[in-house]
Amino acid sequence: MKITRKGTQVADVFAGAASYTLEEINGARIAYLEFAALEPVELTVNDAIEYEGETYYIRHREDVTKEETSLGFTYRVKFYHEMYRLHDVVAFMYKEPDFRKNMNKYNGTARQVLDIVVRSMNRVHPGWSLADCIETKAATFDLKDKTCAEVVSDLVAHYDSEFYVDGRAIYFGRRELQGSGLTYRQGSNGGFRSVTLSAVDETPPITRLYAYGSDKNMTGGEYLQLPGGKKFLEKNTEKYGIVEYVKQFDSIYPHGEFKVTARVDAFTLQASGIDFDLTAQLIDGVEPVVTFQDGGLAGYDLNIVKGTWDAKKKQFRLAKNEQEEALKVPGDIHFAVGDTFTLTGIKMPKAYVDKAAEELRVAAQKWLDGKCENQMRLAVTCDEVLFAQEGRRVVCGEMLYVTDRLLAGSRKIRVTSVKKYIENDGETPYRYELVLSDFLDGNRFMQDVRDLKDESKRLKARQNELERYARRQWRDVKETQEEIKKDFSDKFKESINPVTVETMQLIVGHEQLQFVFVNSRTQPQVVVSLYPQIAGGKVRLNAAGLYLKHMTMGIKTLSSARDAKAYRYWAMPNYTSPMLDKDKVYRLYARVPVGGEAGSFVVSDTKREMTSEAGFYHLLMGYIGREVDGNRSWGRTYGFTEVLPGQITTELIQDPNARLVIDLVNGRITGPVHITAGSAGYDNLSDKPDLSGFQTKADFKIEADKIHGEVGQINTKLGGTDEKLNTLKTWTEGTVQGIMTWQDSFRNDIYALKTAGFITKAEGNMLYASAELADGTKIASYITQSPTAINMISRNINIDAVATFGDFKEDNAQKLAAVNRRVGNAESAISQQNQAINEAKNGVVDLNRVRYGNRTIIDHGKIITSLIDTDNLKVREAASIGKFTIDNNFNFLGMDGINRYVYISPKGHIKLHENQYEAELRPGRFNILYGMFSVDYDHFYGDSDWHSYLRVKVQNLPHKNHIAAMSGSHNFHRLVFDDETGYMGWE
């Protein structure tokens, strides 16, 4: 395999057996290469390899590992696919970066956003293209300071889709390919050597889905429902029973896309496609909003100026976007004829509602189809022998038909990961490891980077939220005080301003404002803290799914256990206000009907009485302060606080900057809390964890001191031991030197008997003899005797007498016999092995499977290799070479599908076939079948002349006029035949 650097080869290596490529759907795509080299190979970032038409490159220096061995160097290198270059290029909306404010939002379809990605990539790495993309609705994407990889990842998340890169071509959409039609299973010829259940989606199958859409452009506080009044969709209930789930598809709502048909001026447009009276569709207290889908104002939300709708001309005027600071919108950038926009903040006619309901049904059914089965993931090792024999290949996204007990039968399941081991010299890979899965684990291509950035964004958003929505400085307190004086002067007496207040009870709040937000009309109920989000000059409330519960309205008696049904409830929606004036203080009201059950929100810069609007209550939620340094304060007015001697009843306690917030309703403390020494509260917890098995810092200190002391003792002992060893060493060296001196003094007495028998009582009876014969052979013997044994040590023991072994030696005799049997068996086995080796030289080796490296496999009579080099090759029965086979009758057949083949018979004929055309060659005959042309030598059936003739048959000839109609000149002749020579000619 060649490794290149800027197109120049730097090394040509032989890939080791562990080298592979890995491709995952929405995940990693890498090549891992192991190789050995005699000399060092210097590799660096951007060095690349090509394998199976794809380029992989080194992305990080730490991806190269070099290890020195006795034979040279071993390398392990990780290469990344070209798709990872998406991480290295910034996505700019235009050809050149535009650093003006609010120029980073782009409204468009997935295809349009990917066009931006492709243009940005070609700025740095030419050759990128968009190969294929699903059709999607337009959406607004934030491209601010994002790489192309992050933009693509945003598309994947927004449209719940997939992407992959082939070469430098981008594909966007679910990656699903129909398989080869083969059935895979574990076992012989099944294609799989092992199948392991690696993961199961713990979520049970959903069989009943309650689906609803957004409340945008709906009336009466309702959400978009399924068509025909249906509340749910079902699938597989007979298989798994009823398992319910509720899901909101908040991106689906009644809307229409309209085109600008005339531009009156920079602010006024006409849209003849609006087929309803806009005035009749307005919602009280809500301003209609135009959102442009394309053109110069793509992504901008612009209000319609009240009273400018002309039903006859289909014309209205746009309000200026006060949020934009760098540009006048409209003005510096503007709309044009042909631009597309949508309308929100109105109640759409029934036809649009019905269309949206059907869109909701389709989306809900698709979601349910993907959730109504048990979802699992299988890890598979493929049969390399079968894959090599049949040339099988598997790719990511392929739907394989698999039979396995883990799947409870047979069904199709998608390949979501392919690991292929690399073969050398262009050999087709045949060693596969697959992952078959019904689900994906998110977008692993971006997961690590996304986790870090999302966490940073969450912390930043939390900080901004605390600063913007909850900060209460003295200025804000005084500002709220002045507004309360104006609004509640008729309900409270004049305010007082004493130096101190001494009283028994302090109540903060008003009876009419005793309401909370809960998540249910029935028990159990959870009180939910609802805070307005103030950003971009607008107020937003995320109240969908919450109910306003009034605690005093309609309540006439006192009770300690009141039924939840006794209270008044109103379902509340999400809310986005119109643009707020920076220099005004606003009031946020909950606007709820007297007789209805669905409320809304409204902001006002003037006071509204509770019953100032007929048929509605206006419940004051709080004050939104003037904007200072880009921030507005929020002062809540609903609820109450009671202060009694030794007791405070309230919902929320916070410091002036809202860094530490204690939510008493939900039992939550947010912010830094420092608990100092002296607190014994932990010991009073009944559900505290058992930490008895863990040691404290003091315990570790004690253990450390013990270890230190014991180590010191050991060192002391080792020091004494070392001194004794040195003394022993000195004594031993002296003793050995003395022995050597003593030995040298007797070197000339080689024929004398140096020692002859001595007996000591200390070791029983001991006889020791040593001598040296005249020929220089040294002999020695050592005999000891004890009451239980006589031990003899000698090089040779010669017994010239009768020896008898008593019963007490029976056990040793049996052991000796067993040893002799084992020796005999071993000799027999060695003899058999030698015989087998000798027979193998000219005979047969009986082995079931032999593997030579990674290139040749011999398995039960099958040989898998890349080259067979032999002088002769005899095949007695069937043979197969690629798509050509020889059967047992020696017929030669080459097939490319059922409609293309060549057939050669040993009986002497050849047949060629392609689709509807067929030709046959036999001795004395050549025939193109199906009546077009044939030549043979035969007699005519039915003719009394029995002689054979050369017969030429031509059918379906063109008429002379057809030839004459061709361009150019023509010269026609008659066909003649010479009976003497047999030749044909023309005249």
Using an 8 Å Cβ cutoff, are 133 and 172 in contact?
A: yes
Q: What is the pLDDT of residue 947?
A: 78
Query: Using omega within 30 degrees of 0 as the cis cutoff, is the peptide bond preceding 97 cis?
Result: no
Residue 966 pLDDT more than 90? no
pLDDT confidence tier of residue 116, bands split at 50, 70 and 90:
very high
Polymer length of the chain: 987
Strand spans (E) along 625-664: 634-636, 641-644, 647-649, 652-654, 661-663
Residue 757 pLDDT more than 60? no
DSSP 94-138: SSS---STT--EEEE-HHHHHHHHHHHHHHHSTT-EEEEE-----
Residue 76, phi then psi, degrees to nearest 5: -130, 115
Better pLDDT: 987 or 394: 394
Q: What is the pLDDT of residue 838?
A: 65
Q: What is the pLDDT of residue 88?
A: 92
Residue 322 pLDDT more than 90? no
Using an 8 Å Cβ cutoff, are 435 and 395 in contact?
A: no
**What digits encode the pLDDT tens for the residues 620-646?**
999 988 887 777 888 888 887 877 787
Tell which residue, 512, 503, 508, has the closest CA to residue 481.
Answer: 508
Give mean pLDDT, residues 363-390: 88
Residues 6+ apart with CB under 8 A from 288: 278, 282, 303, 304, 343, 344, 345, 346
**What digits encode the pLDDT tens for the residues 467-497?**
444 444 555 666 666 776 666 666 665 666 6
**What digits encode the pLDDT tens for the residues 408-421?**
778 889 999 999 99
Strand spans (E) along 38-190: 48-51, 54-57, 64-69, 72-81, 105-108, 129-133, 139-142, 163-166, 169-172, 177-186
Query: Which CB contacts under 8 angstroms, 24+ apart, belong to 37-43?
Result: 37/11, 37/13, 37/72, 37/73, 37/75, 38/71, 38/72, 38/73, 39/72, 39/73, 40/66, 40/73, 41/3, 41/10, 41/11, 41/13, 41/73, 41/75, 42/10, 43/3, 43/10, 43/11, 43/75, 43/77
**What digits encode the pLDDT tens for the residues 194-251?**
988 876 666 678 899 999 998 888 876 788 999 988 999 999 888 888 999 999 998 8
**What digits encode the pLDDT tens for the residues 131-176?**
999 988 888 888 888 999 999 999 998 888 999 999 999 999 999 9
pLDDT confidence tier of residue 550, bands split at 50, 70 and 90:
confident
Residues 6+ apart with CB under 8 A from 142: 104, 105
d(CA 423, CA 391) in angstroms, rounded, equals 13
